[in-house]
Structure 1
Amino acid sequence: MKLSKIFSILLLFVATTMLAQETKPGVVSGKIIDKATNEPVGFSTVSVLDGNKPVAGVSTKEDGSFEIKNLELKNLTLKVNFIGYVDASRTINLSEENKEINLGNITLETDSKMIETVSIVKERSTIEQKADRKVITVGKDLIASGTTASEIFNNIPTVSIDPQTKELSLRGNSNVRVLIDGKPTNIDAGQLLQQIPSASIKQVELITNPSSKYNPEGNSGIINIILNKNTQTGFNGSITSGVTFGVTPKTNQSLNLNYKVGKVNFYTTYGFNHGKNSNFGFVHSERVGYENDQDFTFSNVNTSHLVKLGADYYINDNNTLSFFTNLNFFDGKGKSRTSSDYLSMPDAIQENWNNSGNTTKTYDLAFKHNFEKKGETIDFQVNHSITDSEDLSHFVNNGNYSLNDINGKSSYSQFNIDYVNPLSEKAKLEIGYESRIQAGQNKFYDIQTTENTTNSFDYNRNIHAIYTNYSKTFGKFSAQVGARAELYNLYAHPLKDSTDPAENSNIVIEDEIFTVYPSTYLSYKMDDNNTFNVNYTRRVDRPSNGQINPIREWRTVNMESRGNPALEPQFTNSFELNYTRTMKIGSITSAVFYRLINAEITRVIFTDPNDTNFNIMSFANFKDNNQLGAEVNANLKLTKWWSTNTSADVYFKTVRGTVSNLDTGVMENGEVDVATFNARMNNTFTASKNLKFNLFGMYRGRDLGLQFERKAMYKMDLGANYSILKGKGTLSARLNDVFNTMHFGFDGSIPYKSYGEFHWESRTFYLGLNYNFGGGKNRELQRKQRDKQETQNSGGMF
């Protein structure tokens, strides 16, 4: 017992002696302030150097103060730097007589040369490959390529927009989930992208294989659109104004304002998009007995307003409270005319007038707490959105009149808790909980010459989930494994009330499914220039309310659309291999992916058994399917005056479906193997300090479906950017589709032989101005990085 006590005393003495030897008595402190405004410069970098060798360093607190301990008693140099300021330095003489030095206020002067070159909107869009996503920062070259998100997305690697249906696809697959600032919306993705002004977009994140941390919905992954938000000190902002000249002029405006003072940051973004679009096309049909030529003209006037308002309150270094709201207002008016010239039947003319509009309001409240342990955090977040929409269409077909009126209202609520704990320098644990509650009601009124029909559809879906991820680094390898468990409840009640009692239906659709979604990531960093990543995730595509609604959604002269209440979820096992090569001139990222799809959901078209001249469009589950693809992206600075973003991708997939062959009169279960190739190249040429030129080219290869072949599309754009007002302003000009080659062409054989083309205002000229004002400096705030709004920081958000 005595020996034990003696040993403990000796051990304590040795440890104390060693600690005393390692602890250095020197301390230096002070406060960093702006020379012009006398405001503190928080989160600036303070370093202590012994000659040219750094020996210690800290970031200043929110109030600009700092303290550096454990310094040797000798002559040292203290250096302060922060973006937008000239570096400041002080000599400190620590000695036995002067062990603690308080430097008081250290002032920083604005670096006018640097401020002149700072631009909120970059000249050229950049692509950054992160562990689980590609991040495209939208520059002026992309803004100038289109007035809406829908128009610029065709210029983003691996993303495509169908020019007619506006359907969005990622890696050749349309089962993609679209988020705004990491939050889902109640608006159809194709419609949503037409409502967001391109000038309001800061970044686009392509998350092709999300981990268990995220919502598993979306076969091909997640596209997160990040709207502009400023976090600079003081009052500042930017304005972007552009006009696109086509058949008629179209305008695209965006205003970003920010006021950061003390512990509070206020910000707002307003985007406005307005314009008239004129399109035309033709279809030649060779259906036996119904041979005809159809000519189409379309004219649409769309107006959208997008508002983002928010505030951050930095309670202290460890607690942040944030709030923002996104408001989206859309109004559209359209007119179309279809002229049908039959060879053996009387000609027909159908005219349509359409008024549509929707309003979406999203509210988000978040709180983040940083524990004393570095990197240990907990986040609470509540999100609620409401969407009201109406679509009113008038049809006149050879004297017969009909009116379709669709009214919809939906709400979406989400609550989540995310906890992150760094178990060690090389290991991290993440756990979280999420609840998503969705409710909607649609009413469809169909007034025709001979029949009136009222359809209503109530839709309720609740999802509760927990997830966990564990990551660890060992040597050149890093790995992450995780799982997400979800309980899915569905209750839907369609009701049809028609003048024909035989058509009345009262159906209840119920479902409850418990599923686990695993994910695995493994990275190998061979050296600083070569990194490999392989991952696996399981995903799901749950039928939407429109896909399961058995009552008629819309009806034309020869077709109507309805859902299938028997649809089951579609599950996908997704595998991906990535390789990134970093060089002096830039980086090249390549990827190979494979998807195994179970019970694939697909469109079906079949003949109405009561009318062989009438078709019904619906949905069905098919047998398992698979997709294989590869892509490569290069972000290179080839010379001092030439840089390029180049990408190419190829997809191999099998398309299945059921269609009705009207020439043979039988239903056919079709299957076709498809290979599609796409390529894009965006070049920037620097002519002088202030003048840059852009050359963009894209090729979208042919695609093959069960009914028709979509022909290849390609175009070339020319643009220029000129810096004015000492770098605070930029004039942009761009000629899109120089040779007017971009149009949609098809050649089909089912349900009957046909071919056609559709044209839109592809060749346009854009002229825009971007101007940044204010004298703020960016701050790297210790909070939930809501200035970036990156989805990887929001845990169970999806």
Structure 2
Amino acid sequence: MLIQVKLHLHPISKKFEINQTNHMKSIKFLFAFLLIYTTNLVAQQPNSGIVTGKIIDNSTKEPMSYSTVKITDGTKSVAVVTTKEDGSFEIKNLELKPLVLQVNYVGYINITKELNLSEGNSQINLGNLALVSDAKSIEAVTIVKERSTIEQKADRKVVTIGKDLIASGTTASEIFNNIPTVSVDPQTKELSLRGNSNVRVLIDGKPSNIDAGQLLQQIPSASIKQVELITNPSAKYNPEGNSGIINIILNKNTQTGFNGNITSGVTFGKTPKTNQSLNLNYKVGKVNFYTNYGFNHGKNANYGFVDSERPTLENYQKFSFDNTNTSHLIKAGADYYINDKNTISFFTNWNVTDGKGISRTEIDYDNPSNTDELQLNDNNAGSVNQTYDLAYKHLFKKQGETIDFQLNYSKTSNEDVSNYYTNGTYQLNDIFNKTNYTQFNIDYVNPLSEKAKLELGYESRIQDGQNSFYNESLPFYANNPFAFNRNIHAVYGNYSKTFGKFSAQVGVRIEQYNLYARFTKNESNPDFYENTAVKDDIFTAYPSAYLSYKLDDTNTFNVNYTRRVDRPSIGQINPIREWTTPLMESRGNPALEPQFTNSFEINYTKILKIGSVTSAVFYRQINDEISRVIYPNPQNNNQNILSFDNFDNNQSMGAEINANLKLTKWWSTNASADVYFKTVRGTVTNIVTNQPENKEIDVTLFNTRLNNTFTATKSLKFNLFAMYRGRDLGLQFLRTPMYRVDLGANYTILKGKGTLTARYNDMFNLMHFGFNGNIPYQQNGEFHWESRTFYVGLNYNFGGGKNKELQRKQRDKQETQGGGGMF
């Protein structure tokens, strides 16, 4: 729920003060609704019995983290928990009566223990429970789940990607619209979380030099294992991202012996597209080798129109785009278990992309005195991103005391060459970018007692790059170089403690941020050079606080606070033009300043017999908000500049709910809904007076998704997905609602090792972008893409072995505390 998102339509920042009065009734109603909802769900249970224990591997004696422990009373399920990283578990609030404990882990024989709880035996410690590997079940281990699942934890939602989501699109960009609270703009490919585009994207816990929108189009959906939505990260994390962090975890198999998984699919639209993924690993003795290869190739056809009533320039614009994109994603690494106390690990990611496109823009002016325009563009773009990561982990004698060292280096180079032909005039644009990124971390964890823990860490991030824009047009040649250096050094500390049913964590991260960028511009004439320098030197503290209350094993509440920052990206401050049309040009603003956010959040998780329900309310107070601006090009009266600018303070609120339920033996569902209220205000240019005017409007946004899985037989399952994205009103135009319905099926073959998948996406062809508006002049339009498609694919698992995950820290992928449930 966004109270305010500002749009500014001229280059000079204006400071405004917010008036919240108009929203108090809506906010009170929202909180009252959530209070009634959560109160009805909370169910008190008799509470006096406690059962504790630890799950270990029978042969290696190592802890089995994330095992499932279940307590039953006859056929009734009483409690379900997952073990911690050290294999331990604790279940409280049990009735004093005979019960049964069951332990389950994929690839192992289940353990069943009878419990006799009574007043004289109310606390039972089962000690170490050893799981024995099951050779029969090993053969049928499934690496990719049939159905995607959502697990709510203390500081994040974890979405495990199943075959249903893989079939919904060939790239991460396409499947993200099916994930709750996440959306990708179909035209700009801009990613947003909870209605806010200021989100940080990580790959395996590591930042990428590639723009988030571009990155999502390069990752094959079949290469993704999980997506973590971290909306309020602790002080341990980098503080970037107003709306939080999205961490994409790529597939990595660590089963003993030789194992593999292959996914191959074809999507049929106007043209066919293919999505392939191969995962391999070989684990023997103390060494585990693994690799993942993803391939994505296809041609995409898009088209659209804009009908504009701009005074004296009334026109009808028609667009068509044909793009062919190919991407290769490679991940390879090794884990070496030196001994029980020391582990070293190395991996590398390579992402290679190549894209070719042809576009056509036709501008038909109503006034015969204006010459109609035709712009043709052929584009060739390619990029190479390399990441290298080395990590070392040491376990001290004290249980839970660890220290991690991690060094990460990545470099990216990409080039975009476009040839424009406008009414017979030729122009060449060549944009080249090169970026180097180095990150070093030290993290220390010390459990001060059974109920208290201290975390300390240090991090350095060093980034440098060079961008250049070369423009070849008669009679002048322009060459604009842009170079930057950005260094961040930080220390952090977290202290957590459990007391009764409460657990709390407080922390602070202190950062020193330095930026220096240089830009040279010589577009006006061959003899004129304009030099621009951007400098920032900021020392800031980022506190965080978490408080969790576990009423019982089925009801958990969490309240948290963090301070965050959105530093302008290199693309946002880069004044080099990104793209251009006869009526619009996109470029950055070197004068941008960071925006800071104070973020508050309340979460509630209810574990039911048939699944779980999670809900959240959040509030954000934003200073110097960065937003899009549009203003006239001073060198071309017929063209506008699309850029960025800082605004005054802003506020946002939101609420969301998600239910992950197994309604019957044959029907399971994941349903989610979110609602946002926002006040959009900014400055627009009056088309008559050509003067800026302040505007303000109130907007309500509502989105919902429903994903159903129906089990027809043991081998055959059907999937029905539907989504609705409500209308969005801005200062310039109203975006019309979007709808989509998908129908799919999975059929298991080859004794459970293979699965055939078919899916009909957007079967009613309703998903397209439409808008209309009257500021600063009347205009309307639509853009269409290949949304209605048919997918067919095969997933096959081979090899087998017990699953033993390496207990290794991944940067920006830690959890503050456990919680939630898994189904």
Query: TM-score higher than 0.5 here?
Result: yes
Superposed CA RMSD in Å reads 2.4
Q: What is the Cα deviation at residue 613 of structure 1? A: 2.1
Q: Which one of the candidate residues 595, 598, 615 is aligned to 2:640?
A: 615
CA contact (8 A) 1:312 1:320 kept: yes
| 1:33-112 matches, cutoff 5 A | 83-86=106-109, 110-112=134-136
* Structure 2 CA distance for partners of 1:81 and 1:483, relative to 1, 3 Å: closer
CA contact (8 A) 1:605 1:660 kept: no
Q: Which one of the candidate residues 402, 406, 417 is aligned to 1:381?
A: 406
Distance 1:121 1:631 in 2: 28
Q: Which amino acid aligns with 1:784?
A: R
Q: What is the Cα deviation at residue 554 of structure 1? A: 3.9
Q: SS of the residue aligned with 1:154?
A: helix
Q: Which amino acid aligns with 2:814?
A: Q
* Structure 2 CA distance for partners of 1:775 and 1:185, relative to 1, 3 Å: same
Match of 2:343 in 1: 320
Distance 2:64 2:410 in 1: 37
Q: What is the Cα deviation at residue 603 of structure 1? A: 1.4
Match of 1:189 in 2: 212
Match of 1:784 in 2: 808
CA contact (8 A) 1:622 1:656 kept: no
Q: SS of the residue aligned with 1:423?
A: coil
Q: What is the Cα deviation at residue 155 of structure 1? A: 0.1
Structure 2 residue 245 is the aligned partner of structure 1 residue 237? no
Q: Which amino acid aligns with 2:177?
A: N
Q: Which amino acid aligns with 1:574?
A: S
Q: What is the Cα deviation at residue 31 of structure 1? A: 11
Q: Which amino acid aligns with 1:266?
A: F
Q: Which amino acid aligns with 1:199?
A: A
Match of 2:287 in 1: 264
CA contact (8 A) 1:452 1:499 kept: no
| 1:84-483 matches, cutoff 5 A | 84-86=107-109, 110-112=134-136, 114-115=137-138, 117-344=140-367, 345-483=370-508
Distance 1:87 1:670 in 2: 64
Match of 1:27 in 2: none
Match of 1:7 in 2: none
Q: SS of the residue aligned with 1:401?
A: strand
Structure 2 residue 613 is the aligned partner of structure 1 residue 588? yes
Q: What is the Cα deviation at residue 470 of structure 1? A: 0.4
* Structure 2 CA distance for partners of 1:277 and 1:554, relative to 1, 3 Å: closer
Match of 1:737 in 2: 762
Distance 1:439 1:193 in 2: 23
Match of 1:665 in 2: 690
Q: What is the Cα deviation at residue 774 of structure 1? A: 0.2
Q: Which has the larger radius of gyration?
A: 1
Q: SS of the residue aligned with 1:210?
A: coil
Q: What is the Cα deviation at residue 609 of structure 1? A: 3.4
Match of 1:571 in 2: 596
Q: What is the Cα deviation at residue 705 of structure 1? A: 1.6
Most deviating of 145-154 and 450-459: 450-459
CA contact (8 A) 2:109 2:131 kept: no
Q: What is the Cα deviation at residue 499 of structure 1? A: 6.0
CA contact (8 A) 1:286 1:754 kept: yes
Match of 1:18 in 2: none
* Structure 2 CA distance for partners of 1:442 and 1:141, relative to 1, 3 Å: same
* Structure 2 CA distance for partners of 1:587 and 1:82, relative to 1, 3 Å: closer
Distance 1:499 1:648 in 2: 51
Distance 1:311 1:708 in 2: 52
Q: Which amino acid aligns with 1:629?
A: G
Distance 2:64 2:690 in 1: 75
Distance 1:741 1:726 in 2: 38
1:675-719 C-alpha deviation (Å, 9 max, x unpaired):
211000000001111110000000001111221111100110000
CA contact (8 A) 1:150 1:166 kept: yes
Q: SS of the residue aligned with 1:574?
A: strand
Distance 2:309 2:384 in 1: 43
Distance 2:64 2:174 in 1: 40
Q: What is the Cα deviation at residue 350 of structure 1? A: 1.1
Match of 1:769 in 2: 794
* Count of aligned pairs: 710
Q: What is the Cα deviation at residue 666 of structure 1? A: 2.4
1:702-754 C-alpha deviation (Å, 9 max, x unpaired):
11122111110011000000011111000000000010000000012233211
Q: Which amino acid aligns with 1:286?
A: E
Structure 2 residue 773 is the aligned partner of structure 1 residue 751? no
- Gap runs ≥5 in structure 1: 1-29, 34-39, 47-58, 60-78, 90-105
1:205-261 C-alpha deviation (Å, 9 max, x unpaired):
000011111000000000000000000000011000000000011000000000000
Distance 2:558 2:659 in 1: 17
CA contact (8 A) 2:507 2:544 kept: yes
CA contact (8 A) 2:108 2:131 kept: no
Q: What is the Cα deviation at residue 83 of structure 1? A: 4.6
Structure 2 residue 741 is the aligned partner of structure 1 residue 716? yes
1:612-638 C-alpha deviation (Å, 9 max, x unpaired):
322222221111111111000000011
Q: Which amino acid aligns with 1:382?
A: L
Q: Which amino acid aligns with 1:461?
A: R
Distance 2:683 2:479 in 1: 29
Distance 1:396 1:509 in 2: 34
1:181-218 C-alpha deviation (Å, 9 max, x unpaired):
00000000000000000000000000001111100000
Q: What is the Cα deviation at residue 484 of structure 1? A: 0.3
Q: Which amino acid aligns with 2:808?
A: K
* Structure 2 CA distance for partners of 1:739 and 1:371, relative to 1, 3 Å: same
CA contact (8 A) 2:237 2:812 kept: no
CA contact (8 A) 1:167 1:174 kept: yes
Most deviating of 351-360 and 556-565: 556-565
Distance 1:388 1:201 in 2: 23
CA contact (8 A) 2:583 2:640 kept: yes
Structure-1-length-normalised TM-score: 0.86
Distance 1:138 1:222 in 2: 18
Q: What is the Cα deviation at residue 504 of structure 1? A: 1.5
Structure 2 residue 585 is the aligned partner of structure 1 residue 560? yes
Distance 1:87 1:687 in 2: 27
Q: What is the Cα deviation at residue 44 of structure 1? A: 7.4
* Structure 2 CA distance for partners of 1:42 and 1:518, relative to 1, 3 Å: closer
* Structure 2 CA distance for partners of 1:281 and 1:556, relative to 1, 3 Å: closer
CA contact (8 A) 1:234 1:260 kept: yes
Structure-2-length-normalised TM-score: 0.83
Distance 2:133 2:628 in 1: 63
Distance 1:663 1:152 in 2: 44
Structure 2 residue 668 is the aligned partner of structure 1 residue 643? yes
Q: What is the Cα deviation at residue 375 of structure 1? A: 0.6
CA contact (8 A) 2:139 2:799 kept: no
CA contact (8 A) 2:353 2:383 kept: yes
Q: SS of the residue aligned with 2:522?
A: strand
* Structure 2 CA distance for partners of 1:461 and 1:780, relative to 1, 3 Å: closer
* Structure 2 CA distance for partners of 1:745 and 1:81, relative to 1, 3 Å: closer
Q: SS of the residue aligned with 1:507?
A: strand
Q: What is the Cα deviation at residue 769 of structure 1? A: 0.3
Distance 1:511 1:82 in 2: 51
